[in-house]
Structure 1
Amino acid sequence: MAECPGIAHLAEMADGGLARVRTPGGRLSADQARGVADAAGTLGSGVIDLTNRANLQIRGLSLDAGPRLGERLAAVGLYVGGEADRRRNVLLDPLAGLDPTEIADLRPLAAALADALGSADVAADLSPKFSIALDGGGRAGLAATASDLTLLARRDGAGRGALALALAGRPLGVATEPETAVAAVLAVARAAAALGPDTRARDLAPHVVAADLVASGLAAPCGDVAWPAEVRPVFGALPASHAEGRAAVVVPVAVGRLDAGQLRWLAARADEDGEGALVLAPWSAVVLPGVAPARAADLLRRSDAVGFPPVAVVERLTVVACAGAPSCVRAREPAKGAGLALLARAAASGAAPLARVHLSACGKGCAGPADADLLLLGASDAPGWTLHAHAAPRRPGPAVGRLAEADADAILEWLAQRG
């Protein structure tokens, strides 16, 4: 089993091979989205996951499908081959260039970093899990995402833009200029690679990294920076600042689960209603830039008919779920399926509770570490779910109830009683 999947490096899962398609900056052309959908439908099971780092995962592949998948995705510019494929872990605020509150549009930096990491001399020695997050200082607060290295746009006392740095969530007290940002990131990557391919940012000494960056002229000390405490998801129609008279539409994706038909539908909407591009959001959503405001409401209405949840539901009820059964060998319970059913029932009822629900089929907590108002925790050695209030999978605390299955009505009733 591949430790960290890519396109050629498939992970062996209970439902077959899994490929991770990295989309640096989260941006896909409509043709690239169709390429992924077609590959998923013909080589895999047609099931596609949108990850919490804004990548796509194709499920249900045969374990020898890597070369064929690589050929298909290389034809649409999504596979670069070699060690570079798994090293382009660049997460960008999906509202970059669209958010009028942002300090800096970091899309050019995201593209430059993806290229640099893929071609750097340390690519083979760098952990494929080494991740970078870029936050232009806008409303979404992407810098709160757990990453090895985070760059957050800020303004100095003279009003000039700079990028404050954090290592594994710990601010370094230094900032780099946009023109030196790629070199600064590569310097940190080389420091990690020098300690071995399993080294992550948490293994580096923050004061040493900061001192080395300052000594090399790649960063300078900066004052205190207000780092976002949490990511703030955005859904629905968003007036955009980059194109007068156009909007961005953020379509929610229930528990990050797509099928090939839904991805093709999004590609068609990007071509017909937008500017021919999709941007993947790490909060289980897809952004369609360049939509005319008069088309936005109709596009969102039509998204319901192809299985996307209503914005009014996901703005109140957040549901996260791991892959669960039958995708994971550790799982007995169908976490994704239960999450989809819960959102569908909340939409049908017309009264979604204001809550965060996490379905984790085991204690590993693959869907994320954040606390939920209600955690449903499964186990590999027993059927059913235990219920935990204000908990996360790795620190569930005492159980407050138990369900033989994740019945949507029972979950909604539990939430209503404690709301």
Structure 2
Amino acid sequence: MTLPPDFPATTPVRPSGCPGLLRIVQAMDGGICRVKLAGGLITAQQAEAVADVAHRYASGVIEATNRSNLQIRGVGTAHQALIEPLLAVGLGPANAASDDVRNLMLSPTAGIDPQQVIDTWPLARQILGSLESTPRFAELSAKFAVQLDGGEALAMREHHHDLWLCAFECNGQPLLAFGLAGCPAQDAALGSVPVEHGHELVMTVLTLFLELARPEHTRMRHLFKERAITDFFAQLAQRLSVAIGPAAAWPRATHSRQSPIGTYPQRETGQVYVGATLALGRLDAAQLSALAKIATRYGNGTLRFTPWQGVLVPHVRAEQAACVTQALHALGLLCDAQHPLTQMVACTGSSACIKGLADTKQDARRLASLISQPQPIHLTGCLRSCAAAHVAPVTLLAVAPGHYDLYLRDPQHAGFGVLRERNLTIEAAGAWLEARQRSNTHD
């Protein structure tokens, strides 16, 4: 692949198994091009561009990822023709080497959430700018990720990150609690710094990691297998210009306090955002184009994709919310939080992945027809668990076409948790889950 002549590429696109905008990775159904969205936000013009190239140069299938990005599937041989329009509308990195490092997760309601402690966008833009403009950060793995949580009611707190920061207020001062190689839902914060030192903290953590890590240490957790986290913390404290404070006052939130589906008020008087989920994280080019038109007609011309593989239409006048919900439903999006597919995640499966042992997408739809209430269930075609960024309460691991081992998450057990049943058909899995749901309800 070659870049446009005027694109500021400083180094070649490096080899990696992870797709990017400039690195299209082959799968059984064609190439995969991942379009990274800052904070999950995309303009209507950009969404139309993604839809257009997905239709022209790929299969038309678009996926919302669990990191609030989009990826185009079934890319053919015209890689340059697909990439250039996306660069033209501002969906690319500042330079070729920095595409991989733009891994900063925000709440999908950053800046508009009435519950937020801070608006994270100013700090996020500062961090993203430094990630792209600092040559050494190109050494970071494509999987190395940072989370910035502003204390919003709608935020993903279970995904593991190499560095996470959560805003809270103590004695009237906004602070950032932070942790390493974990997530806010499970881990205690290591300490806190004032918000105005958030950028310095992130830059120092990343620089220190690169100095201490060997090439095989692609993630923070790999480094901590050989080096004590207390040692890393001590070196970090020496380098910062501000003392690391305690985080005892940080009110750890174990999960999002609000559903990503439905209509909710924004900070702006009279405005709401409307959320819906994509069935199994997928939409086609026509649906994305229609979403762009809905955002332009009813909102401010932007969409926000969520780590629950859904989308928000923000800046809608409250009196038009019902029209937006109706339009999203007409597109085939899930607007009812009680639909069984809203909490179900499935990988690509055997229809498009050589490692998949079952058609997980098709099996997930079948399973949804067999259960009466939504349950957090992850269907994975192999042990790699590509579709889920954290272990789900229930995991169905494919062992053969249409057959799965069933696991229940347990903090005391590594991996998917406790193996409860082997070699279940989808029908048997549905019956087992329904019986368990009834039992839990009766308790």
The TM-score normalised by the length of structure 2 is: 0.84
1:311 aligns with 2:336: yes
Where do residues 230-245 of structure 1 align in structure 2 (5 Å cutoff)?
230-232=255-257, 233-241=259-267, 243-245=268-270
Which of 52, 55, 61 is the matching residue for 1:38?
A: 52
Paired with 1:364 and 1:372, the residues of 2 have a C-alpha distance of: 17
Q: CA deviation at 1:396?
A: 5.3
**CA separation of 1:277/1:341 partners in 2, compared to 1, >3 Å: closer, same or farther?**
farther
Matches within 5 A, 1:231-270: 231-232=256-257, 233-241=259-267, 243-270=268-295
**Counterparts of 1:15 and 1:83, CA distance in 2:** 27
Secondary structure of the corresponding residue to residue 363 of structure 1: coil
Q: Which runs of 5+ in 1 are unaligned?
A: none
CA contact 1:331–1:361 (8 Å) conserved in 2 = yes
8 A contact 2:408–2:420 mirrored in 1: no
Following superposition, the deviation at residue 165 of structure 1 comes to 0.9
Distance change in 2, residues 1:77/1:316 (3 Å): closer
Alignment deviations for residues 186-221 of structure 1 (CA, whole Å, 9 cap, x no partner): 111112223245432211443233333332225522
Look up the match of 1:17: 31
Match of 2:220 among 201, 207, 210: 201
1:187 aligns with 2:204: yes
* Structure 1 CA distance for aligned equivalents of residues 406 and 302 of structure 2: 40
Structure 1 residue 165 corresponds to structure 2 residue 178? yes
Q: TM-score, normalised by structure 1?
A: 0.89
Aligned residue type for 1:370 = V
RMSD, aligned α-carbons: 2.4
Cα distance in 1 for partners of 2:262, 2:159 equals 21
Correspondence 1:27 to 2:41: yes
Taking structure 1 as reference, are residues 315 and 179 closer, same or farther at Cα in structure 2, changes over 3 Å only? Answer: farther
Q: 1:411–1:317: structure 2 CA closer, same or farther, 3 Å change rule?
A: farther
**Of 77, 80, 104, the match for 1:90:** 104
Question: What is the letter of the counterpart of residue 168 of structure 2?
Answer: R
Give per-residue Cα distances to partners, 1:93-128, cap 9 Å, x unaligned.
Answer: 111122211211102222221111011131221212
Amino acid paired to 1:168: A
Q: Distance in 1 between matches of 2:234 and 2:331?
A: 52
Q: Cα 1:389–1:111, aligned 2, differ >3 Å: closer, same or farther?
A: same
User: How far is the alpha carbon of 1:313 from its aligned partner?
Assistant: 2.5
1:372 aligns with 2:393: yes
Does the 8 A contact of 1:317 with 1:357 survive in 2? no
Give aligned-pair identity as a percent: 33
Question: In the TM superposition, what is the alpha-carbon distance from 1:417 to its structure 2 partner?
Answer: 3.0
Query: Number of residues paired by the alignment?
Result: 404
Match of 1:223 in 2: 247
Work out the CA distance in 2 between the residues paired with 1:8 and 1:21.
Answer: 9
Indicate the SS of the match to 1:124.
helix
Match of residue 76, structure 1, among 80, 89, 99: 89
After TM superposition, give the deviation of residue 250 of structure 1 in Å: 0.8
SS at the partner of 1:122? helix
Q: Please tell me whether the aligned partners of residues 133 and 142 of structure 1 are also in contact (alpha carbons under 8 angstroms).
A: no
The superposition leaves residues 43-75 of structure 1 with CA deviations (integer Å, 9 ceiling, x where unpaired) of: 11111111111111111113x544333311111
Deviation at 1:180, TM superposition (A): 2.1
Q: Aligned letter for 2:338? A: V
Separation of aligned partners in 1, 2:284 and 2:403: 26
Structure 2 contact 359–401 (Cα < 8 Å) conserved:
no
Amino acid at match of 2:408: H
For residues 266-291 of structure 1, what are the alpha-carbon distances to aligned partners after superposition, in whole Å with 9 as ceiling and x for unaligned? Answer: 11111001111111110111111111
Partner of 2:166: 152
Question: How far, CA to CA, are the matches of 2:84 and 2:365 in structure 1?
Answer: 33
